[in-house]
């Protein structure tokens, strides 16, 4: 097992990726190469940057965590657009929003612990 796989923040990012893939599989087919694809890439980027950064020097890892946190923000923006397009209801949006907010805080806490 790689060290990053032990990180709860990484495990949560993987779990969120699965949930987003399930969600977007229900969206209209015309969004396959639109916001569905963009959301999938953004959510996957969260876990990928945690994993890749963990194998780098501390300052580099901190930079990768910044990118990972930025991907959380990107997911929020895309989900807001999806909600406005009625691809996701307000209750589901709130659940994903809360999950992303929590994940963002976990990433920030990990970054601070690397001082």
Give the Cα separation of 10 and 66 in Å (integer).
Answer: 14
Count of the separate structural domains present in the chain: 1
92 located within any domain: yes
What pLDDT, in 10s, does the model give residues 40-88? Answer: 999 999 999 999 999 999 999 999 999 999 999 999 999 999 999 999 9
98/33 Cα distance (integer angstroms): 26
Q: Kindly state whether residue 22 falls inside one of the protein's structural domains.
A: no
Give pLDDT tens digits for 5-40: 999 999 999 999 999 999 999 999 999 899 999 999
Residue 24 lies in a domain: no
In a domain, 25, yes or no: no
Domain presence at residue 26: no
Q: The CATH number of the domain where 79 resides is what?
A: 1.20.1440.60
What is the residue range of 71's domain? Answer: 3-17+31-113
Domain membership flag for residue 59:
yes
pTM: 0.95
Calculate the alpha carbon distances from 63 to 19, 57, 67 in Å. Answer: 26, 10, 6
pLDDT at 1 over 90: no
């Amino acid at each position: 097992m790689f060290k990053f796989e032990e990180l709860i923040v990484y495990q949560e990012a993987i779990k969120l990726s699965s949930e987003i893939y399930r969600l977007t599989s229900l969206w209209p087919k015309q969004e396959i190469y639109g916001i569905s694809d963009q959301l999938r890439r953004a959510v996957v980027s969260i876990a990928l940057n945690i994993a890749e950064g963990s194998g780098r020097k501390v300052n580099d890892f901190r930079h990768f965590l910044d990118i990972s946190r930025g991907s959380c923000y990107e997911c929020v923006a895309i989900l807001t657009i999806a909600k406005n397009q009625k691809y996701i209801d307000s209750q589901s949006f709130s659940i994903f929003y809360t999950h992303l907010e929590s994940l963002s805080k976990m990433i920030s806490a990990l970054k601070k612990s690397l001082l």
